[in-house]
Amino acid sequence: MTQVIDAVDGVGLPGRRAFAVAGFASGQDGRARERGKALRTKVPREQHAELVPVAGRPTAVEAIEASNAGRIGALVPIRVGRMAATPFAFLRGSAGLMAADLVGTPDTGVSAQLCGDAHAANFGLYGDARGQLVMDINDFDETVPGPWEWDLKRLAASLVLAGRETGAGEGTARAAAQHAAGSYRRTMRTLAKLPALDAWNAVADEQLVSFADAHDLADVLRKVGTKALGNTSARFAARSTERTDDGGWRFTAAPPVLTEVSDATARAVAASLGPYVSTLPAEVRTLLSRYRVQDVAFRVVGTGSVGTRSYVVLLTDHRDQPLVLQVKEARPSVLLPHLQPAGHPVPGRDGHEGRRVVLGQKHMQVVSDTLLGWTTVDGLPYQVRQFRNRKGSVDPAALLPNQLDDYARITGALLARAHAHTADPALLAGYCGKSEALDEAVAAFAVAYADRTEADHADLVAAVRAGRLPAEHGV
């Protein structure tokens, strides 16, 4: 039996027919760019320079103490020590505090799927299904739909702090923030001009350096890429495992970063892989059925994530070749309490936090880890992914001034591409425009927020010295 789909007249296309089908647009709206331009009246682009104090803002120490709730107490000093290292490191661990500050900043009301923690160190290289390297945003713990401006301003502020840490002049640091915003704006204009499918997959990685005019960074990316190609499960397993008496394999402890877990915890994590597999495509389930679990260990991760529960699981195939999965606790996004005060809808809280992270990542990346999924361990939600999947990263705080500027343009382009998956690029291109008005405003905000972050960092250091917050350095 043939299904009949109701037809409606094609707008502006005499003699043609359009079809109303669930999940598809009912017609092409060519006015998105004009609507974007109209938003400039509501929110002039120059207003994005504003950083207005928010009533009731917690102090840096109060924010850290609140964010430590629910973490493993013994690991909290490591987190505090890492955040106390530099102002840039403090920013990396304080996405929630910055979100509280962003509530008071202008935004257009246009939502996109946010990284939620789009600082400059959360972009990098990783492997696709064939082992080829791609470059994109690579951290999504805080991902949630929200104001696109929040990601862009966090990126810009982080570049100013990274520039200051390298010893670059203030003009160079500010220029990096401005060029990141400019690259975001120009990339959005480019995407708006492309067919939808081409825009979705645009800015191919082999063209990224030329697209962003980042030729001074090419050698850095080549070196990072070469190192990333060897950063695999097999290499990690070769360094971090040993044979057992029964011919199996186990992790070798390297406290405090890699430690043993109890038999009960190991069983719970291993058992959670069954439900995890059900979140994967059928063909990937077949692949994982060819592996067996050998061991589970606890591994400390990240800066903002320190103190959350994160496990590595060692699997081997029929030839004893290893695959390591990371099972990482997924806490609610730190942006959630600040969306409603900013006038944006708050996503439902009845879902699985691991699922939120995974789907948010897939919404933003062009290519995602084929083993990306989620599960539950002892009642807590987790995300699951490959560990050391040819991961490589550029340290923005170690770049030369001309390289920092190039890196800023690359990250700005990648952020625009990610946002364009869920926000209409024509709408944002219409708002961002051709002039540098937005770029200059975002750069001014970034400098002001970098100053605020340095003051917050100084408060943290003072609290550590006074003994209010325990800190373990160099871990």
With CA atoms as reference, report the closest residue to 415 among 161, 218, 182: 182
pLDDT on residue 29? 60
pLDDT band (50, 70, 90) for residue 7: very low
The pLDDT of residue 10 is above 50 = no
Stated length of the chain:
475
231-240, 345-354, 458-467: least confident range: 345-354
Write the pLDDT tens digit of every residue in 156-190.
999 999 999 999 999 999 999 999 999 999 999 99
Report the chain's C-alpha Rg in angstroms. Answer: 23
Q: Taking residues 317-343, what's their average pLDDT?
A: 96
Between CA 201 and CA 199 the distance in angstroms is 5
Q: Taking residues 298-316, what's their average pLDDT?
A: 92
pLDDT band (50, 70, 90) for residue 401: confident
Write the pLDDT tens digit of every residue in 79-89.
999 999 999 99
With CA atoms as reference, report the closest residue to 258 among 276, 236, 273: 236
Largest CA distance in the chain: 78
Q: Taking residues 31-60, what's their average pLDDT?
A: 95
Task: Report how far apart, in Å, the C-alpha atoms of 117 and of each of 35, 332, 387 are.
Answer: 28, 13, 20
Crossing angle (nearest 10°) for helices 437-465 and 148-166 = 60
- Which residues touch 280 (CB under 8 Å, ≥6 apart)? 288, 371, 373
With CA atoms as reference, report the closest residue to 137 among 357, 461, 336: 357
Write the pLDDT tens digit of every residue in 194-227.
999 999 988 767 788 999 999 999 999 999 999 9
3-state helix, strand, coil in the chain (%, to 5): 50, 15, 35
356 close to 330: Cβ distance less than 8 angstroms: yes
pLDDT on residue 24? 72
- Which residues touch 413 (CB under 8 Å, ≥6 apart)? 183, 184, 186, 187, 203, 208, 211, 212
With CA atoms as reference, report the closest residue to 325 among 263, 375, 261: 375
The pLDDT of residue 25 is above 90 = no
What letter would DSSP give residue 396?
A: G
User: What share of the chain has pLDDT > 90, as a percent?
Assistant: 84
What letter would DSSP give residue 303?
A: S
Between CA 82 and CA 50 the distance in angstroms is 29
Write the pLDDT tens digit of every residue in 90-141.
999 999 999 999 998 999 999 999 999 999 999 999 998 888 899 999 999 9
pLDDT on residue 19? 66
- Three-state DSSP at 175 gives helix
Whether the bond into 195 is cis, omega within 30 of 0:
no
The pLDDT of residue 17 is above 70 = no
Residue 61 tokens, joined: 């120490």
Between CA 76 and CA 245 the distance in angstroms is 36
The pLDDT of residue 53 is above 60 = yes
What's phi and psi for 37, nearest 5 deg? -60, -40
Q: Taking residues 417-443, what's their average pLDDT?
A: 97
In 244-296, which residue ranges form alpha helices assigned H by DSSP?
263-277, 282-288
